[in-house]
């Protein structure tokens, strides 16, 4: 018997950094096709998938701010970086035989269609993957917040935050070797313990909308599928 997914519709947040693989910058072909293969396994379970793609592998608004660049301008550049990633992801999906659409929160209609909620939902119902690019379309926000926002808008049952780390730890595992990983933690406890699951805006939105978050490693083979099957994988933040 085929395993039954725990969720009908998910919002997957992929950081731009995930696309770099071991490179210092940009998009690694091998890495992106491996990530797409993981997504394909989940698509084959019949799960409806929205993806919010980051841009940190190309440009991050907060970093140049320190060098004196106008923050809003830098953030628009960061959002445009996510559009490039979105196109690369769509193309990698096409090569893997997955049907996807890119929708952008900023209007660049010659390149990608604009974000239209009703259309996005229609695509999901038709079994297409929808890649949400350009974040929220506003400077001073992040693609984590876009993930919370789009997740709530499309009625996703969970936000899956794919990172380089395999969950949320009691302390930074790189600095503190005694740090342990939470299998699950409530929103309230994560706040009380001052754990950075997502940025504060994204976290607050998920909490308000009672949208659980599962943090897991995109580089762990099969992890995405296990999360979708409702198995304990990474860290689940619940209401
Ligand atoms: N960004 C923005 N508004 C948004 C989403 C993103 O201004 O709603 C900009 C911001 O400058 C950010 C960059 O786009 O640094 C790339 O996004 P992010 O850092 O979230 O990407 P990730 O860390 O997931 O790769």
Note the pLDDT tens digit of each residue in 125-163.
999 999 999 999 999 999 999 999 999 999 999 999 999
Calculate the average pLDDT of the chain.
95
| pLDDT score, position 65 | 60
Would you say the CB of residue 64 lies under 6 angstroms from ligand 1? Answer: no
Residue 164 in this model has a pLDDT that exceeds 80: yes
Atom index in ligand 1 nearest the CA of residue 14 equals 24
In angstroms, what is the span from residue 137 Cα to ligand 1's centroid? 10
Residue 2 in this model has a pLDDT that exceeds 80: no
**What are 184's two structure tokens?**
């699950």
Would you say the CB of residue 62 lies under 6 angstroms from ligand 1? Answer: yes
Yes or no: say if 197 and 10 are a contact pair by the CB < 8 Å rule: no
Structural domains in the chain? 9-156 (3.40.1160.10)
| pLDDT score, position 3 | 86
**What are 173's two structure tokens?**
């595992």
Would you say the CB of residue 135 lies under 6 angstroms from ligand 1? Answer: yes
Residue 172 in this model has a pLDDT that exceeds 90: no
| pLDDT score, position 48 | 98
Residue 67 in this model has a pLDDT that exceeds 80: no
Lowest mean pLDDT segment, chosen from 60-64, 139-143, 204-208: 60-64
Average confidence (pLDDT) over 46-58: 97
CA–CA gap between residue 63 and residue 75 (Å, rounded): 10
The half-sphere exposure of 67 on its side-chain side, counting CA atoms within 13 A, is: 8
Average confidence (pLDDT) over 97-119: 98
Q: How far apart are the first and last CA of the chain?
A: 31
**What are 75's two structure tokens?**
């953030």
In angstroms, what is the span from residue 1 Cα to ligand 1's centroid? 41
Does 117 carry a binding-site annotation?
Answer: no
Cβ-count burial 101-115 (b if 16+ within 10 Å, e if not): bbbbbbeeeeebeeb
**What are 168's two structure tokens?**
């949320």
Does 216 carry a binding-site annotation?
Answer: no
Lowest mean pLDDT segment, chosen from 38-47, 113-122, 163-172: 163-172
Yes or no: say if 184 and 235 are a contact pair by the CB < 8 Å rule: yes
**What are 183's two structure tokens?**
């299998």
Would you say the CB of residue 75 lies under 6 angstroms from ligand 1? Answer: yes
Does 169 carry a binding-site annotation?
Answer: yes
Continuous H helices in 3-70 = 29-43, 62-65
**What are 213's two structure tokens?**
């978050």
CA–CA gap between residue 21 and residue 141 (Å, rounded): 25
Yes or no: say if 213 and 197 are a contact pair by the CB < 8 Å rule: yes
Yes or no: say if 137 and 121 are a contact pair by the CB < 8 Å rule: no
Task: Provide, rounded to the nearest whole percent, the portion of the chain with pLDDT above 70.
Answer: 98
**What are 239's two structure tokens?**
């209401």
Average confidence (pLDDT) over 188-198: 91
Residue 66 in this model has a pLDDT that exceeds 70: no
Average confidence (pLDDT) over 185-209: 93
Residue 61 in this model has a pLDDT that exceeds 90: no
Give the helix/strand (H/E) hosting 188.
helix 187-192
CA–CA gap between residue 230 and residue 75 (Å, rounded): 35
Residue 190 in this model has a pLDDT that exceeds 90: yes
């Amino acid at each position: 018997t085929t395993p039954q997914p725990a969720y009908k519709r998910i919002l997957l947040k992929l950081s731009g950094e995930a696309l770099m693989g071991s490179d210092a910058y940009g998009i690694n072909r091998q890495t992106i096709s491996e990530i797409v293969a993981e997504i394909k396994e989940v698509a084959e379970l019949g799960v409806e998938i929205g993806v919010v793609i980051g841009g940190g592998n190309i440009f991050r608004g907060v970093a140049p701010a320190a060098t004196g660049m106008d923050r809003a301008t830098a953030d628009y550049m960061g959002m445009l970086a996510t559009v490039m990633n979105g196109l690369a992801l769509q193309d990698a999906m096409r090569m893997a035989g997955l049907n996807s659409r890119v929708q952008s929160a900023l209007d660049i209609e010659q390149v990608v269609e604009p974000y239209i909620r009703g259309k996005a939902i229609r695509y999901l119902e038709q079994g297409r993957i929808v890649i949400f690019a350009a974040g929220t379309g506003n400077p001073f926000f992040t693609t984590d917040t876009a993930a919370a926002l789009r997740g709530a808008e499309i009625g996703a049952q969970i936000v899956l935050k794919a990172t380089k780390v395999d969950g949320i730890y009691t302390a930074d595992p790189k600095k503190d070797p005694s740090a342990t990983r939470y299998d699950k933690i409530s929103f309230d406890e994560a706040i009380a313990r001052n754990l950075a699951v997502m940025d504060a805006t994204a976290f607050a939105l998920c909490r308000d909308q009672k949208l659980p978050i599962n943090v897991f490693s995109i580089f762990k083979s099969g992890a995405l599928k296990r999360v979708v099957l409702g198995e304990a994988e990474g860290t689940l933040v619940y209401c």
